Structure 1
């Protein structure tokens, strides 16, 4: 009886404890599948690999042949543990990206690279690499996206979580419901402290630095694709809110779309959206709590940037404020939905990922065996070619006297061809060697 009372008291305390959210946010600790992931070190292949020696072999092969193997890079990335290998890991991934083998990059390479930088707590470098797809080509899968966003959310680092969420928008990837729920939550939480993600510092040329002008065939017209060229944090987050908001055909989705278009500076689209909602007579169009937030965004627009679209947006928003709006908290609704999605998908994704780890191991072994077979085949062909050349050389020596006349004829034909191309051969005796003048020089002297 006493044990039951104590258990009920502890449960009641846990449910009402203000630190409950600090104990666990959304995904459980077991979602990372760390124990299963670390079993790769026990595999017959990776357990025998010394990452330092392998790196030197990769560098030596790259210097001598100019080639790098995607399988070898995968083995190296999957075996490295120590933080001191950061430069080597970065260099290897970059070299692979620049090579023709980049299209053969294994899925486990992307995941291992992300887990490595997470384990050594170098999140800033990781985010830099993920956003520099051209030079490194690291693309997370859905499981890695969830792992990253949940990690940053637990650390209250919503700026980094939003940076990961914008990658989903840039890839236009909305296939995973858990990614979508974490992504829209990360972007919305980031807006509470947007100063945590500052825009890139513009490069100002040094007036004292010498200007080097280079002649080019033609100048490209400046082009801005309004997608991959976006660098302003609010624009990226705004477009991400629009992207994720379109997935929810309800008050939450409409709220995110409206805030997103305004942050993205797409005032004309925001006006069209509000008019369509009003014309359709939708109830509880947006959450009432975002009204002051949107008004603040509109009030911060510089006077020189107030266009007709901005004026129209303010008029339509005033109409929207007087309609039926929904009470409640956007964040609470997002958290509720996120918990529901986690409850549905967490166990399934963990099971699928454990199976994926096993598939990666098998795929790595198969590709390595195939690579070894190809190298062995190449080596045997080279040996056969070498033996063939040796036999031909030996045959020439053994049959020289039998084919002496034929060989002399070949020599005469070759000399005749050289004489026709370069002129007759002039023999110079030792007596007049010092006074010898080449024919070309003689012609120039005569002229």
Structure 2
């Protein structure tokens, strides 16, 4: 095997070190792929002139020992060009989540990667953080903290946002004078206008470039017919922003939402040791007040995204009193008991079997589900997720699995669990309101 220097481009991109079986060992990004990859390798003048490097690759002796070990295990070097460093940063994050390369973990030095957080406030803040909590919207994590901060600097010039100032405090912050805050501190922008500004930043990190430009052009279209001086000035500024932003976005194709979700599903499969990525995930929860008007929910996530057309709601029929575990068992029995020899084909069209089932609860709820699985001989992967410590209980495993709060796999499980809880509670509240108002309870087919 030979790697010629001239084959490696000098453009930005992502590079991959793989072993002889093609398994991913390490993913990195570079502003100059040729320079970065060759910094790992021992080369002589002939090789630098284009004669080529032959396998096995020899590590640069100036590298740390762990990186020398990486090169010694490397049999294949591959790469993917990108249009910009920003794109390389985002794609590196995607591939690390997708493949979880061993040496990316070993080289972290126990540090948590940086994420971008947009807070859930009337006037959201855009900040960087290494700690993932339940509030806010997160993008990342990213391996290069410097590159993330540089990306935010560019975005902030086009879409100013607040970081530390207090809205409507009457005192202008430093960033307002630097034209990096839109003036929410002194009441120059309403909450509704500011939310639209933040939506543009979210669209950038979600890969929705066309939507950013489209919305700005809509705003410009509304301003142009107006003849007052203020509107004309705003239109002129907006036109300038659109022109320059189109140039920036043309050089920064960011990762699509679909690609991010795909990586999360693959990571979940690895974490749970599933044979295949779970393309259809079903989540279950029950809701009641001391057994009164007890309900249950089934939610469906298809390829990591909620599919509300597939949701089902249940009224508890056989359990009396407050017994959540028995209620859950009844619902699972009703759902999976329908897959009989006579009704299987008819039901499979509308109720296909899932690739993974997520139960809201701990070990007791998992035990109830396992009894149903045993009764019907189900081979569907099954887990329960307990809220307090976010512990994942797995059948035939003594200790629960606890993932880092930054884990995208955990985030996906939490999304399914929380959506099942929300849907069950909303149905229970609906029945309570109808009973209070004396309305007839709606019938359900399930």
Q: TM-score, normalised by structure 1?
A: 0.21
Larger RCO of the pair (alpha carbons < 8 Å, separation 6+): 1
Which structure is larger by alpha-carbon Rg, 1 or 2? 1
Question: Quick check: which one's strand share is greater?
Answer: 2
Question: Quick check: which one's helix share is greater?
Answer: 1
Q: TM-score, normalised by structure 2?
A: 0.21
